[in-house]
Structure 1
Amino acid sequence: MAATPSRPTEITVHGQSRVLEIAFDDGARFRIPFELMRVYSPSAEVQGHGPGQEVLQTGKREVTLLGLEPVGHYAVQPAFSDGHGSGIFTWEYLYFLGREQAQLWEDYERRLRESGLDRDAPMPPRPGHGCSH
């Protein structure tokens, strides 16, 4: 990784194909599926508050982006159609998602198998949360 993180030069939301296309100043260009972004959201709701507290996300294949808000000069905050909107995606994290997406998909599918879950299974309600997002 470069000493200074790459910065995006172009960000395009493709609603119909459900991908975020992002080009960086080092020439890299990625098409990151919304589902991958949602499953790997950097939010505490998904990542937990420490190692081993990650919440395996399911039922996100059809998720769309309702909005994409800039956060300073370092990140964006997507609003997903399932109500999730607390993840802040830094440029560095989006670059990681784009560069490593094949491995991330593999890891996700392995975690689903190990949990006996299907990618399209609905998310179970979380204790203390009134919604099923």
Structure 2
Amino acid sequence: MSKPVPTGLTVHNKSRVLDVEFDDGASFSIPFELLRVYSPSAEVMGHGPGQEVLQVGKREVGIAGIEPVGNYAVQPTFSDGHNTGIFTWEYLYKLGSQKDVLWAGYMDRLHASGFEGDSGRETGMSLTGPSTAAPAKSGGGCGSGGCGCKS
């Protein structure tokens, strides 16, 4: 089975979500906060298992810009200055398809560390509700000029 490739990618700064549509028909609205706290960077993930760094105070984080990385990923610049995470198509698909589980894990870690109020979401909130965002642009993946990436 081939890896899913985005056919649409739209940044919604007002609602703070990234809409991603894939060539297998899946589509996800991924909150910026979730993208930021699960950024695939050494700053967030560390250099190995057990070295993850809990990200707090990211409820209002925005995306200031987003750039394609070859034909396989995007690299957002977040409003807090973080810009070292390279989000492959496969990783974006994982974040979108597993966002409720990932969100619950993040909330558990915040709670265990005493930072429960540092998230913009309520504990137990589902992130799979209907999207009110406009549909993502379609046609080609990032790097082809047709993915709809916006700064």
Q: How many residues in Structure 1 have an aligned counterpart in Structure 2? A: 119
Query: Residue 112 of structure 1 aligns to a residue in which SS?
Result: helix
* Equivalent residue for 1:82, pick from 61, 80, 86: 80
* CA-to-aligned-CA distance 1:10-67 (integer Å, 9 cap, x gap): 0000010000000000000000000000000000000000111000001001000000
* Equivalent residue for 1:24, pick from 22, 25, 48: 22
Q: Higher RCO, 1 or 2 (CA under 8 Å, sep at least 6)?
A: 2
Structure 2 residue 116 is the aligned partner of structure 1 residue 118: yes
Q: Following the alignment from structure 1 to structure 2, what is the Cα–Cα distance between the partners of residues 4 and 87?
A: 24
Which structure 1 residue ranges, 5 or more long, are not aligned?
A: 122-133
Q: Following the alignment from structure 1 to structure 2, what is the Cα–Cα distance between the partners of residues 117 and 17?
A: 23
Which structure 2 residue ranges, 5 or more long, are not aligned?
A: 120-151
Matches within 5 A, 1:1-133: 3-120=1-118
Deviating 4+ runs (over 4 angstroms): none
Deviation at 1:116, TM superposition (A): 1.8
Q: Following the alignment from structure 1 to structure 2, what is the Cα–Cα distance between the partners of residues 116 and 15?
A: 29
Deviation at 1:113, TM superposition (A): 1.4
The TM-score, its normalising length taken from structure 2, stands at 0.77
CA separation of 1:119/1:49 partners in 2, compared to 1, >3 Å: closer, same or farther?
farther
**AA at the equivalent of 1:49:** H
Determine what percentage of the aligned residue pairs are the same residue: 66
RMSD in angstroms over aligned alpha carbons? 1.0
Deviation at 1:119, TM superposition (A): 4.4
Matched-pair contact (CA < 8 Å) for 1:39–1:46: yes
- Report the equivalent of 2:135: none
